[in-house]
Each structure stands twice: as structure tokens, then as C-alpha cells.
Structure 1
């Protein structure tokens, strides 16, 4: 199949303090998230000046893709659209229509299946085409890539680099802990029995083997729903506390569920979890 453009489709994120609460309201609309919880999460963004790393990372990715296409002699324009913040997917697809694009490949920045990682991106594509009207380009979403050899290699390399930052006497006994974004248990069954969990577990096994680890743990992080709604567990903070109680002296934490350093990584892990590890006397490295 031939394409005449590429659409990079992502989640979106605020790029200034005044955008933080409107962005979070977009993300959580209709989910019944308490205002107090939104304000708490907003503080995480404001800690970084109200700017999520995700849009900058995606723009760098687009620059790299364009350079690679040029190196291969391919004249293929790259468009950028988001689900929850500017540039919105509706605007991107409308621009594609106006520029005469007829068929485009869509690279979604989530590696996973499941509802939020895959189905919602299909819904974004439908919404973008509807906004562009009857002359909208055909949009073909590329495969999920949770098990792609290059993704596995990237995470394995990152684990080795992170482990090398631990004190040398502790490296051999460091516990490898994989973490991915938790989701409500009821959402976990929307796209087949435990699809998302099974994909995460499979990727962890592939990455651990590639990095040379026979034993590891796989946990969840960054739950945001009402406390009465059950989410996937164990939580990474609870797991770290259990490791500390068991006498663990060092951990390497790999955020395998994230393909870039989002707020959930730079705040939940680099700030909160790192502080928890320091208080427990555990040497901490984050891939």
C-alpha cells in the first residue's frame, strides 16, 4: 500500500501554566474525576512550568522522521495531531485534506492494544476524518509495536545504562521492576480478556531476557480515578515499600509502558518514587 503522508497521532499535553487545567479537563471529561484530584495532578505539571514534555518529544521525533525520510529519498510530508490538546487531530486531518493528501499512514505513539492505547486512537482517526468532511484522506493506523525488536532493544539498552549508575557493589543484586500505566479493571476487559496486561507482561519478558535478567517484577503506576473504582495493582509505590521490607538494597525501574518521558515518568518516578527509595535506603536507578 502506498502512502502520500504520515500522521503522527499522540495524546497531547499543555505547553504553559494557563493550559494545564483545561487540558486535564479535556482528558478526564465524563469520567467523574474529582476536582481535587485534577488540582493535585495540575501541581505536577506546574512543577515543570506547566509544560508537558510530550509535545517537544513528538516534535523532535517528527524532525528525526523527516531526516530519515530525506536520507532514503522519500518525499513524504509528516503531520502532527493530538487527541487532547493542540495541535488537534481534527485540524491536522483538515490540513491534510487541503494539501491534497489522499492516503496517509498513522503512527500512534502508544505501543499497546486495549481501549486507551489503541481503540481511542481509532476513534480519533474517525473524528478527524469526520471533521475534514467527504474529501478527508484515507487514514491507515500502523500496527501496535509493543513487541517490536527495536523497542525491546531500546528498553534493554536503557536498563543496562541505568544499572551502571548504581553503586558498583549493589549492581548484581539490584531488583528490576517494570512499570506501566494502571487502568481501571473494568476498562481492562473492553478489548478482549486482559489484552493490555498480557501485552505488557509479554514485553517485560522480552526486555528482561534481552537485558540479561532472569527475575523481575511488573507493577503499575499513576492511577487517577475515584478511590472506590478498582484499578490494576500492585502500585509501584506499594511494591517498593514491600521490597524495602524484604531487605532489597537497589532497584532499577523501567517504565516499559511509556515510550517517552511523560509527566507520569518524570514526576511519579523521578520525583515521588525516587524520594520514597531514598527514604527507605534503597539505591534507585530509572531507565
Structure 2
């Protein structure tokens, strides 16, 4: 799955097309979840539409598995943005330039080891899209495109304003778990574990650089195998690290919820109605990736 930092949400085209839908499943934690081997036959990643019991978890994730809800919320805003921009262009009898398909983007600060271990780094879950309408007569002018995209961005921001201020505060505190002495000690084991699996790197950053180089140079025929091998190695070696970090992040979140109790109450009351209103108004659909 493509990676991003908590401070930004990037859009990426991915290689694997989504096949089918599924019901929600209970995900294991990073510390206990199984990691399939790199040569195992793996079913394609899927999506679920089931909301968490506490809607605040979509905004304030503390684990990789919880971050799937956050990714889905990110994508909902992007769906709204694109839908409104496309409607604007259609009203003018024009079209917009093609864009990469929407995809769920994972967070580097919250590694989803169950997903990475099954699908690797390069196979994100693409977002199902409705059938395209008739092709317009022409692509809009630069001014028309800017106008419609600005209208779309404004609509997407309207959806995100229900949760983004609080989410930014949380992401700003999330990295504290990395600085905890126990987490620092646990991360020191990563290099040796990856070396034992054939990836001689000095640290996590160097491993990510290796992933990028490997996937850019992999042949089409060998891409999926190498991707799964890298993801499986990383997931296995990061499990002891996440076994330390996850409890730290959960503690940080409990403290955050206490400090921001009033804002969280408002979030819990407003988030799901905001989502449902966006779905009705713009034809979007909230969905989440699942391994």
C-alpha cells in the first residue's frame, strides 16, 4: 500500500484493481496478527462499508488497522471533490483532464502490518467508481478547469471541516510514541531482522529507499512477487516494534480524548451525519480497505 506521513494525504495510482466487496472482519493487532509468506497465494484486497462502533476512531487512529477507517474518510472527501468538479464541467458541456484513480493511502506513522504483509507496498486498494457518463464534446479551457476544480475543492473542504482540525491536533501528537525509550530500543532490532531476511539496510528509512528502488526497477512479471516479499519481511520485522508502540499510542489517545473531551463529543455527534449527507448529496460512498 502506498505510504504517506500523517501530516499529508497524497493520491497515488496503484497496480492492483479491486475485485469484489466484503463484509467487515475483526482485524488482529500488529503484535498478534498472522503474516503470510511472500510466495503465498493471496486474495485481492477488498473494501468494507462497516463503520467503527466509535466514529472518533475514523479521525483519531492509534493502530495500522484503525488507520483504514481514516483512509476511507480521506477518500470520501476526494470523492466529493471530484464529483462536484465533474458536475461543474458537465453543466458547461465540457470535461476535465483524466486523473489517476482514487486509492487508499496508508500512513507511515501507523504501519498496517496485516495489509503490508499480505499485499506489499505497491498494491494499494483502488476505490470502486460508478460507471462513467457520456464523453463530453471537449475538454474545458484552463480557466474552466480551474473554476470547476476550485468548486470541487470547496465542497471537499466543507466535508473535511467536520473533523480535520481535531485530526491535525492528534497527528501532531502521534509521533511522540516514536520517541519513547522503549520504542526506540525496539526499533533498533529492525535492521538485524531485515538483514536476516536478505535486506541489508541500516534503518527503516534505508529500507523504504530500498523498496522504492526495487519496485521502480522490477519487471512487470516479477513486480508482485518482489512487492509481497518486501512487505512480508517488513511486517514480520516490525511486529515487535508495533507491539511496543501500539500501547503507547493508545495511551496517548486516551490522554488526548480527556484533554479534548468537548471537541470529541461534537465530533462523535456530527461525523456520521456529515458522511451520510455527503453520500446523499454527491453520490459518494464511504468505504474502507481490508486485507
Question: Which TM-score applies when normalising by structure 2?
Answer: 0.26
Larger strand share, 1 or 2:
1
Larger helix share, 1 or 2:
2
Question: Which TM-score applies when normalising by structure 1?
Answer: 0.26
Whose RCO is larger (CA < 8 A, sep 6+)?
A: 2
